Amino acid sequence: MKVRRSLSLAWVLFSIVWLICIGVLASKRVPAKIASTKYSYAYQLRADTNPNSTDWSRPLYEVIHSPSAERLESQFDPVDWDYHSEWDDYAKEGKLKIIEFPDHSKLYLSPALVEADQTYLSQQFWDQRSARWSKTLEPWLAAAAFPPIILLLSGLGTMWMVRSFQ
């Protein structure tokens, strides 16, 4: 009985220390990841527009739906790291507009979007922040949960085997 109690106490202590370590690491790295990730709006093309052969030289609203006028649910895609410097250069040239949010995440928008659409998309992007945070936290939650669970199951299995041979 003392062995079982000692193993249980050891598991609880290990789990607490493990969760504290993961929590400290996550509290430093997750906000930094959020701040370093940049997003772009995924345009919703008009029904008569072929996505593979879109002529982007045409006026923007001939190609896409107006998000604010049609109250569209917006989707934002992360910009690959390979394109960050290129897109930042486009922003400096005025070909893109960068909007920074209080959590330091950034959204690239086309300056061809009217002000109402830019405001609407900015609000939707900010409203969807909890989903982005959740997605960023998922691997950390798995890293926090799996080792203590595996250790608990291993200990229970070992105790079951020891009891079966007694």
pLDDT tens for each residue of 29-79: 888 888 888 999 998 888 777 777 777 778 888 888 899 888 989 999 999
Q: How far apart are CA 105 and CA 94, in angstroms?
A: 20
pLDDT at 14 over 90: yes
**pLDDT, averaged across the chain:** 88
pLDDT at 153 over 80: yes
pLDDT in the model for residue 108: 94
Give yes or no for a contact between 65 and 44, defined as CB atoms under 8 angstroms apart. yes
- Give the Å distances, CA to CA, from 76 to 44, 50, 131: 11, 20, 11
Residue carrying the six token digits 């009217």 = 114
CA atoms within a 13 Å half-sphere pointing along the CA-CB vector of 156 = 6
Give yes or no for a contact between 129 and 103, defined as CB atoms under 8 angstroms apart. yes
pLDDT at 99 over 80: yes
